[in-house]
Amino acid sequence: MKMMKNKHIGFIVALSIPLLILIGLTVKPLWALTYGDDITLVTVPVDPRDLLYGDYVTLRYEIEEVPKNEISTAILKKIDKRSNYNELTVYGTLVQQGDVYVLDNLSDEKPTGSIYLTGKLNGYDYQNVDGVKVHSINFGLDRYYVPENTGKELEDLSARGQLVAHLKVKNGYGILKEITTVK
């Protein structure tokens, strides 16, 4: 009888672990959606279609391209110690300017008391279209799925710089809620 009871407990534990892991994966996004700050970022979409995934827009943000001369020497030294393919976790503090948020400060230490996004800073720099050496940061907000046959319209709007992204941000974690046209 005791052995049968132990089998039942083992079975319940075996079923509970995957369920708890799945529930745990939803906690951070739900926490950000419920208690996060609403922010708006300027976007630059890149690609509207994928045959396997359907229509989506790949987004780039102005805050993801940081001039090298605006990055602290401490962060640059940490990047130099790594190979070019390794990334450094950074925290981008955001401030509101008009209707959108812009990058105010980039740090390798988690800020307190401000709105920030956690991202990965690439170890290599490149020249942007203005000829400025920049580093790229990936904040993990680059893909937005859209209804079928609407990706081309968004691509055209993005080519004209007429899209902004609306996010919820909590403790460095951002959820992309929607993209809209610039008013």
Q: Say what the pLDDT of residue 129 is.
A: 72
Q: What is the mean pLDDT of the chain?
A: 84
Q: Say what the pLDDT of residue 46 is.
A: 60
Choice between 76 and 46, residue whose per-residue pLDDT is larger: 76
Instruction: Work out the average pLDDT over 63-72.
Output: 89
Q: Which residue has the tokens 């509101």?
A: 96
Q: What is the CB neighbour count within 10 angstroms for residue 117?
A: 25
Choice between 54 and 104, residue whose per-residue pLDDT is larger: 104
Q: Say what the pLDDT of residue 96 is.
A: 94
Choice between 49 and 136, residue whose per-residue pLDDT is larger: 136
Question: Which pLDDT tens digit goes with each residue over 123-163?
Answer: 777 787 778 888 889 998 887 888 777 777 777 777 677 88
Contact 91, 111 (CB under 8 A): yes
Q: Say what the pLDDT of residue 23 is.
A: 92
Contact 40, 164 (CB under 8 A): yes
CA distance 34 to 156: 32
Residue 49: is its pLDDT beyond 70? no
Residue 6 CB partners (closer than 8 Å, separation 6+): none
